[in-house]
Structure 1
């Protein structure tokens, strides 16, 4: 005699964990690496080329954030970040200086997206470089935690 299989107990459905809302930004053009402050008789200043890039990046971040329907309150207190450098950037630049420039543009003294770039606020940071991308710029993906 063949015994039919016993019906398996049906597990109650688990609540689906809502995935965090990703914030995606694209800043076109070559990223200017983070520069050391220069000291002069009249005080400390950042090089004009770096200041110009950072100001342009901050304006672009503001514009893109205002166009997205983001429900998070800014500045974010904790987030995971992906920075993907695309295209033709100076390959003799340190990757940490390129990422640092992007982080400076995102923090409270910049566009105000992140409260800070300390470890307690930014526990996960991935930086990638894709020299074969068709356009030059930086793609930033922010996952609020």
Structure 2
């Protein structure tokens, strides 16, 4: 079995919990994104897809928006996928945000994921493309 899901909008990286003298909290922007990923999955798929204990492979493609500033040459290279983003946020933080949003929905626990193939790129249509499949 295989599922595909596209999360529209600019990807948001996982953020570390913030600690204050009044307690610990998750930054609102990250919490809203993670909740949005969960909600979109529930509206699209509506139940846990993969049984507990099944090994899973995940392919993630993160598309960041092309910045408004910069030369026409750089914008063209980014639009043609010739120039890749080597800037922050880190790819692992993007991955963590998706794993957190889908945990308990697409699978029972993210320890089922044994293989991840992830890329980040620029595009005029920012989004995250997700493919999850069972490893036979």
TM-score (norm 1): 0.70
The alpha-carbon deviation at position 128 of structure 1 amounts to 1.2
76 and 24 in structure 1: CA distance in 2 versus 1, 3 angstrom threshold: farther
Partner of 1:9: none
The counterpart of 1:62, out of the listed 36, 42, 46, is 42
Q: Secondary structure at the match of 1:139?
A: strand
Partner of 1:106: 102
Distance 1:136 1:124 in 2: 24
47 and 75 in structure 1: CA distance in 2 versus 1, 3 angstrom threshold: farther
Partner of 2:25: 45
The alpha-carbon deviation at position 113 of structure 1 amounts to 1.2
In structure 2, the gaps of 5 or more residues are: 67-84
The alpha-carbon deviation at position 79 of structure 1 amounts to 1.0
Partner of 1:95: 91
Q: Verify the 8 A CA contact 2:6 2:130 in the aligned structure 1.
A: yes
Structure with bigger helix share is: 2
The alpha-carbon deviation at position 116 of structure 1 amounts to 2.2
Structure number with greater Rg is 1
Number of equivalent positions: 116
The alpha-carbon deviation at position 122 of structure 1 amounts to 1.0
Distance 2:107 2:57 in 1: 10
The alignment yields a C-alpha RMSD, in angstroms, of 2.4
The alpha-carbon deviation at position 86 of structure 1 amounts to 2.0
Q: Verify the 8 A CA contact 1:86 1:138 in the aligned structure 2.
A: yes
Q: Verify the 8 A CA contact 2:11 2:64 in the aligned structure 1.
A: no
The alpha-carbon deviation at position 107 of structure 1 amounts to 0.6
Q: Verify the 8 A CA contact 2:50 2:107 in the aligned structure 1.
A: no
- Higher RCO, 1 vs 2 (CA within 8 Å, ≥6 residues apart): 2
